[in-house]
Amino acid sequence: MQDEGKGSRQGRVLVVVTGCIAAYKAAEVLRGLQKAGCDVRVAMTEHATEFVGPITFEALSGHPVVTDLFRASTPIPHIELTDWAELVCVVPATANFLAKMAAGIADDAASTTVLAAGCPVLVAPAMNVRMWSNPQTQANLDILRSSGVDVVMPVAGRLACGAEGEGKLASVEQVVAAALETLRPEPDLSGRAFLVTAGPTHEAIDPVRFLANASSGKMGYAIAAAAARHGARVVLVSGPTALACPPGVDRVDVTSAAEMLEASKAAFASADCAILAAAVADYTPAHPADHKLKKDAEPLGSIELVQTADILRTLSAEKGGRVVIGFAAETGDAVAKAQAKLARKGCDLIVANDVSREDSAFGSDTDAVTFVSPEGAEPLPTLAKPQVAERLIARAATLLEA
């Protein structure tokens, strides 16, 4: 397989089509990528060919379509394709194919090719609403995200089966935009050290009770994963979460705001950039009990609270020529509140997020954020958290260069 066109186009994309009624949309994605200047090649599962014939993709791409490892036009198609590709885009991605990817199964041409990929992988799921909401599907997605796979989230709507709900393939425009975002020149963070904080903190009332918030840690973990992918040394200071540590990241587990402050100060001492995505408690009980409080003998009519230390303000005051980025999780008028927070804290950038929005709530897989800096506000469209992380790492790299 020759590398014709290498360097003369915007990117080389391998589109992997799986067996779903939305397979015809993959042809539109292919055309959208071509219009953006990409060279596109295609691999298909056997079931995908029941919905759209390979000849359609051969005619559109100008290249042979790989459907069978033993009947391809080249001896080792899965290796040659992935050596060539700068991005693998699985569209549509069925529940079955996502499960194969999560388990590392390679039992046909498409799954073997994806497993061999040495470049970024993007998946655009499409399936029945009950299949999408099945806990096993969501667990598989968590596994894929933790290994660096980006996800273009499906949308709610009327599905091919007649049901209503989430599971409908994202629009062609969204898939193409996500692919082009991934193909943007990547910042090289080799030699840079990042501190990232993530998750909630738990403030003890007694040994078994605590004050907390609904942060899942997904955004901070996505940021840590993105920084590591771009070559940075990353220390992730994490409050209590159920997430797996991203590859190549050193995680420091903490529980309270006080512990997060101390761990963050220690990591920041050798960092070039701090991205403080954790939802740190603003208050902590003044007098936590050293034993479980019994409601009959020691009823809690009230809890005296004291303010926790401000980690963002503390690190910003010590940053010197280093970069510090904070987050503002707000409800309503998030940008104005983030602008005020930027002035108070003295950091370089605030990521404003209205958590009252369904697409930006704590625990969601997407965010609609705005980057707020002294130069102004830059709103981003609703993106999957790994895509927001990529945008933020690119901005951090620019700030480091400056």
CB 243 within 8 A of CB 142: yes
CA distance 196 to 225: 10
Comparing 67-76, 148-157, 254-263, 313-322, the range with the smallest average pLDDT is 67-76
3 state DSSP class of 125: strand
Residues recognised as catalytic? 161
pLDDT tens-digit map of 271-291: 999 999 999 999 999 999 999
CB 350 within 8 A of CB 312: no
Topology given in CATH for the domain delimited by 193-401 = Rossmann fold (3.40.50)
pLDDT at 48 > cutoff 90: yes
Structure confidence at residue 332 (pLDDT): 81
The pTM (predicted TM-score) of the whole model is 0.66
Q: Do 11-183 and 193-401 agree at the fold level?
A: yes
3 state DSSP class of 12: strand
Structure tokens of 81? 């394709």
CATH code for the part of the protein at 11-183? 3.40.50.1950
| pLDDT top residue among 156 and 34 | 34
Residue 365: pLDDT band (50, 70, 90) is confident
Residue spans per domain, the chain: 11-183, 193-401
The CA distances from residue 170 to 124, 160, 306, 309, in Å, are: 7, 14, 46, 42
Angle between helices 54-61 and 23-35 (to 10 degrees): 0
Mean pLDDT over 150-166 rounds to: 81
The CA distances from residue 3 to 39, 41, 42, in Å, are: 10, 12, 15
Structure confidence at residue 354 (pLDDT): 85
Residue 4: pLDDT band (50, 70, 90) is very low
